[in-house]
Amino acid sequence: MEIVAFSIDGRLYGLDAQHVNRVIENVKIFSAPFMPKCHIGLLFYRGELYDVIDAGILFNQKISLVNSHSRIILMKWNRNKLAIIPDVVVGLVRIDDQAIHQGASTAHGQKIDLITPDSLWTRLLKLSYGPGKIS
């Protein structure tokens, strides 16, 4: 299988490439009030609206490294759409399906944590929305 690898705080993560629609940059993002800190806004790309998530904050609660030149991974799966911004988008990595149970890694042997869009979604749904305490 092919995965889109990206890094957050020096750690590598991978998403199944079939859920990744495109990687874009230089797109205007519009923030909305009452959303969790990791939700940095909305973007409209080719007629579709994406929630934009700062992956760094979502994963590690660290200070955001997002800037206007950050690369954005657009994901589409089932009926959901999400745009995530990691620290660095590493690129496509091919993994042997047979060896996947041993864990994914780069050609240099660096370990990649595979994540699913659903796990990201579940994580997002657990956050607080609306007025009051925003996580």
Query: Contact region for another protein (CB under 8 A) — 1-9, 62-70, 87-95, 126-134?
Result: 126-134
Q: Torsions phi, psi of 126, nearest 5?
A: -80, -10
45, 8, 6: which is closest to 28 by C-alpha?
A: 45
In whole angstroms, how close is the CB of 123 to another protein at the nearest point? 11
In whole angstroms, how close is the CB of 72 to another protein at the nearest point? 15
- Member of 80, 105, 106, 110 binding another protein (CB under 8 A): 80
DSSP β-bridge partners for residue 54: 85
Cβ proximity of 43 and 30 under 8 Å: yes
- Member of 9, 18, 32, 118 binding another protein (CB under 8 A): 32
Task: Quote the tokens at residue 101.
Answer: 């149970």
Query: Contact region for another protein (CB under 8 A) — 34-42, 66-74, 88-96, 106-114?
Result: 34-42
Cβ proximity of 25 and 122 under 8 Å: no
User: Which residues between 38 and 67 bind another protein (CB under 8 A)?
Assistant: 39, 41-49, 51
Question: Nearer to another protein by C-beta: 84 or 112?
Answer: 84
Residue 55 amino acid letter? A
